[in-house]
Amino acid sequence: MSIFSLSRRLLISELLTKNRINYCQIATALRPKKAKSTRKEAQYFSDAKKVRTVGGKGGDGCVSFLQLWCNERAGPDGGDGGNGGHIIFQASNDVRNFNHVDSVVRAPEGGIGTAKECHGKNAKHTVVKVPIGTVVRNSKGVIVADLGSANLMFVAARGGAGGKGNRFFTTDRETSPRVCEYGPPGEDFSYTLELRSMAEVGLIGFPNAGKSTLLNALTRAKPKVAPYAFTTLRPHLGTVQYDDHVQLTIADLPGLVPDAHRNKGLGIQFLKHAERCTLLLFVLDASAPEPWNQYQQLMYELEQFGGSLASRPQLVVANKMDMPASAANYEQLQLLLEQPNILGISAKMGHNLAQLLSTIREVYERHKAKEHTDL
Ligand SMILES: Nc1nc2c(ncn2[C@@H]2O[C@H](COP(=O)(O)OP(=O)(O)OP(=O)(O)O)[C@@H](O)[C@H]2O)c(=O)[nH]1
Ligand SMILES: [Mg+2]
């Protein structure tokens, strides 16, 4: 073989290797092998939110002098600016949480004044819908509004008033003022919105005690029921209607665990939903060993939460009475707890629910009557 043909061969093999390397470096798209999931996307429930509200700036006034074909100095004609928009929180039935509320809400600015005495447009107010039961705290933590019924409003930040144009400053002495006002900025305040469910009765208990099953059995609400802890991640409300058309709302709250005040489990933040409840209904799992400890631990967590929660009127139910171990535990429970209102029920089987409803009404009415006489 000649030297020439050998070097040619080497050159070709080198090119091929190079080509192969280039070819390998080309990226190929990874096609999805699985069909897209049809499951609902995760839904978040936010029951507290920090919001900064900025009212709209007022529109600036205008300095202008009118010139007509017959009168070159027809006088000042600068218009006023329009008012900036307010930010208003309005309690509404249309929303259930604060997911839709932005962390900074800005109202639109007022329009600027222009020549020929044209005043700027007033900006529209920005109405932010919040759920009924929203409590508004200012940056110092003081409650400034309690939007407890539909359509109640709170003006969170006022917009700046429109600046005056030079036409406004015209007087007999000063017939051609060269001054106008700038529109001031709107108010800028930060608030914390907190949702406190509007319910008369709050269900308090450990995870898996059967709170959601009880709400399902008593009302038309359909919270998820499952044999694992923390099935309920947000409060659910249901309404009971009595024969005399009195309605009581019951709130199923996420389960508490020992040391919830140290942020174990879901923490005690959901207890703020119980703050408006007139009556607390403790749901104990009577089939669990030593259910009386559950009551003590729940009471301890309520005390740690603070406020008047621990001293609210109470009713204790021993649930799951259909289970074999429950009967003996129930007797012990009655002996050990110094509670007059203990009732054995089975939420799943529907045992003793009518009695529970009448006891709830009785305790509720008694408390309301006491409140009335205290006043
Ligand atoms: N045998 C029996 N089982 C019950 C009864 N009540 C509830 N359960 C069962 O207990 C399990 C937990 O019930 P849930 O209603 O989800 O409990 P929960 O208190 O809402 O639990 P979390 O939402 O996790 O706090 C479910 O498997 C229910 O079927 C009852 O009266 N008897
Ligand atoms: Mg539940």
Give the model's pLDDT for residue 197: 77
Distance from residue 348's CA to the centre of ligand 1 (Å): 8
Give the model's pLDDT for residue 229: 86
Residue-range definition of the domain harbouring residue 273? 201-374
Least confident of 28-37, 158-167, 242-251, 335-344: 28-37
Distance from residue 214's CA to the centre of ligand 1 (Å): 8
Return the CATH number at 337: 3.40.50.300
Q: What is the mean pLDDT of residues 115-129?
A: 95
Q: What is the pLDDT of residues 265-276, one digit of tens each?
A: 777 778 888 888
Distance from residue 346's CA to the centre of ligand 1 (Å): 10
Residue 2: is its pLDDT beyond 60? no
Residue 111: is its pLDDT beyond 70? yes
Report if residue 129 sits inside a domain. Answer: yes
What sign does the CA torsion over 30, 31, 32, 36 have?
positive
Residues 167 and 315 in one domain: no
CA distances to 162, 298, 355, 363 from 309, rounded to whole Å, are 48, 11, 25, 16
Residue 152: is its pLDDT beyond 60? yes
Residues 178 and 209 in one domain: no
pLDDT band at 51 (very low <50, low <70, confident <90, very high): very high
150 lines ligand 1 (CB under 6 A): no
Q: Which of 195, 224, 259 represents a domain boundary (last residue)?
A: 195
Report if residue 2 sits inside a domain. Answer: no
Domains in the chain: how many in total?
A: 2
Q: Which of 180, 195, 210 represents a domain boundary (last residue)?
A: 195
Residues 51 and 159 in one domain: yes
Name the closest ligand to CA 266.
Answer: 1
Residues 319 and 343 in one domain: yes
pLDDT band at 82 (very low <50, low <70, confident <90, very high): very high
Residue 59: is its pLDDT beyond 90? yes
234 lines ligand 1 (CB under 6 A): no
Report if residue 105 sits inside a domain. Answer: yes
Q: Quote the pTM value.
A: 0.71
320 lines ligand 1 (CB under 6 A): yes
Q: What is the mean pLDDT of residues 342-352?
A: 91
Give the model's pLDDT for residue 43: 60
Write the residue with the smallest CA distance to atom 7 of ligand 1. 210
CA distances to 200, 224, 231, 258 from 227, rounded to whole Å, are 27, 10, 8, 19
Candidates 206, 213, 349: which one to mutate for ligand 1, based on the most atoms within 8 Å of Cβ?
213
Give the model's pLDDT for residue 241: 86
Report if residue 329 sits inside a domain. Answer: yes
Residues 297 and 346 in one domain: yes
Q: What are phi and psi of 106, to 5 degrees?
A: -115, 135
Strand pairing partners for 205?
A: 283
Report if residue 363 sits inside a domain. Answer: yes
Residues 319 and 338 in one domain: yes
Report if residue 38 sits inside a domain. Answer: no
Residues 170 and 219 in one domain: no
Residues 215 and 336 in one domain: yes
Report if residue 28 sits inside a domain. Answer: no
Residues 216 and 314 in one domain: yes
90 lines ligand 1 (CB under 6 A): no
CA dihedral 204, 207, 210, 213 (to 10 degrees): 100
Distance from residue 362's CA to the centre of ligand 1 (Å): 26
Report if residue 30 sits inside a domain. Answer: no
Distance from C-alpha of 63 to C-alpha of 116, rounded to nearest angstrom:
10
Residue 74: is its pLDDT beyond 90? no
pLDDT band at 371 (very low <50, low <70, confident <90, very high): confident
Residues 170 and 254 in one domain: no
Q: What is the mean pLDDT of residues 195-203?
A: 86
Residues 103 and 218 in one domain: no
Tell which residue, 234, 238, 240, has the closest CA to residue 272: 234
Q: What is the mean pLDDT of residues 154-161?
A: 96
CA distances to 15, 226, 253, 273 from 282, rounded to whole Å, are 81, 19, 11, 15
Measured from the Cα of 323, ligand 1's closest atom is 1
Q: Which of 152, 167, 195 represents a domain boundary (last residue)?
A: 195
Give the model's pLDDT for residue 22: 54
Return the CATH number at 181: 2.70.210.12
Give the percent of the chain with pLDDT over 90. 47
Residues 131 and 218 in one domain: no
Q: In the predicted model, what is the mean pLDDT of the chain?
A: 86
205 lines ligand 1 (CB under 6 A): yes
221 lines ligand 1 (CB under 6 A): no
Q: What is the mean pLDDT of residues 221-225?
A: 88
57 lines ligand 1 (CB under 6 A): no
